Each structure stands twice: as C-alpha cells, then as structure tokens.
Amino acid sequence: VMEIATKLFARVDHFNELADDERKFIAGIPNKLGIEGAEYWPFFGSMKGAGKFKNKIGINDPLISKALDQIPVSGQITKTHYDNFVKYYTLTFNGNYIATGTRLLCMKRPDTFICFDSKNKASLCRDFGIVQSNMSFDRYWNDIVLRIYDSEWWKNPEPINETEKKISAARAAFLDSLYYEE
C-alpha cells in the first residue's frame, strides 16, 4: 500500500491530477485500481464509511489537493507545512475530520504521519499517554507527531538494507499495525 501510494504521488505534481481510482486508493475508499496490492487499500485507515469525504474525493475537490500540496514529498515536515495543510483541509470540511485528514497525510508521508481513527485511537492514546477524546488537528501535531519526532526509532540513521529502507520510509504509518484493534 505504501509503495503504491508513493509511486502515485511521485507521478504527479498535485493530488487532483491522479485518476479517480488512484485518488480513492490514497483516500482509503473502495476503488477499482488495477495494481497488484491495491486490494489492500483499507490498510492504514479505511474511510469507506466517511460519506462526505468520499463525495469530495469523487468530485476531485481542489482544496484537498491544495492541502496535500502543503506537505513536501521529502525532507523534514515542519509545523508550518502541517498548519498550511490543516488550513486548506478545514476549508473543505466543517468539523473534526481528523481520521480522513490523517489518512491522506499518512499516505503522502508515512515516515511522519499515522492515520488516527476509531480502530487505533484507544491503544495509541494509551501508550502515548494522551487523552483520546476530542482529538483535533492541533492536538494531533503536538500529541502524536512531536512524540514521533522525539522517539529513538524515528531518529535512527537510515538503514542500508533495501527492505529496511522501505520499512523506515513508512515507520510512522506502521505504528497502525501495533495499535489497530478490531
């Protein structure tokens, strides 16, 4: 899933340039992307129940693309990058769409972001020592991203082995495998 998302983002300059099923794949909603491995689209946050979000992805809402443009595909992500993403993303959605927003962030930069949703929030918040209720975009940066940046496993030098490099490139997103609960 991460390899497919990375290749899709690398092919275009803007999210809205992707084909319909490619955008749906990245957004974590049902799609017909005919790539081996694409059937695992629900991994890292299935958004199939997020009706308004699915609609906005389907109509290729330009503000979603503009929001994702704020996050660089490589290099350090700063609070300014993140705040700009949130500014455009929240223009699209009224309310707290933290799960859908973090799914998109996780797909674009799996080294830094984890999708924060109903399937992982209880155990993630417990182990991070944070309150799970009322998670907001502001809290997500402070309570999750900054803790990820501060962790030893995130700071470790890039591995030499190719398999380990792939895992390291998605190290924050892979937290979902530890915290996901049915």
Asked whether the beta carbons of 115 and 102 are under 8 A apart, the reply is yes
Q: pLDDT digits over 47-96, tens only? A: 999 989 999 999 999 999 999 999 999 999 999 999 999 999 999 987 77
Of 16, 4, 99, 110, the C-alpha closest to 62 is: 16
Q: pLDDT digits over 35-45, tens only? A: 999 999 999 99
Torsion of CA 110, 32, 49, 43, to 10 degrees: -30
- Angle ∠(83,87,88) on CA atoms, nearest 5: 125
Q: Which residues contact 116 (CB under 8 A, 6 or more apart)?
A: 98, 99, 102, 124, 135, 140, 144
Residue 112 pLDDT exceeds 90: yes
> Phi and psi (nearest 5°) for 32?
-120, 35
* Proportion of the chain above pLDDT 90, given as a percent: 84
Residue 182 pLDDT exceeds 80: no
pLDDT band, very low/low/confident/very high, at 157 (cuts 50, 70, 90): confident
Per-residue HEC secondary structure of 123-179 comes to HHHHHHCCCCCCCCHHHHHHHHHHHHHHCHHHHCCCCCCHHHHHHHCCCCCCHHHHH
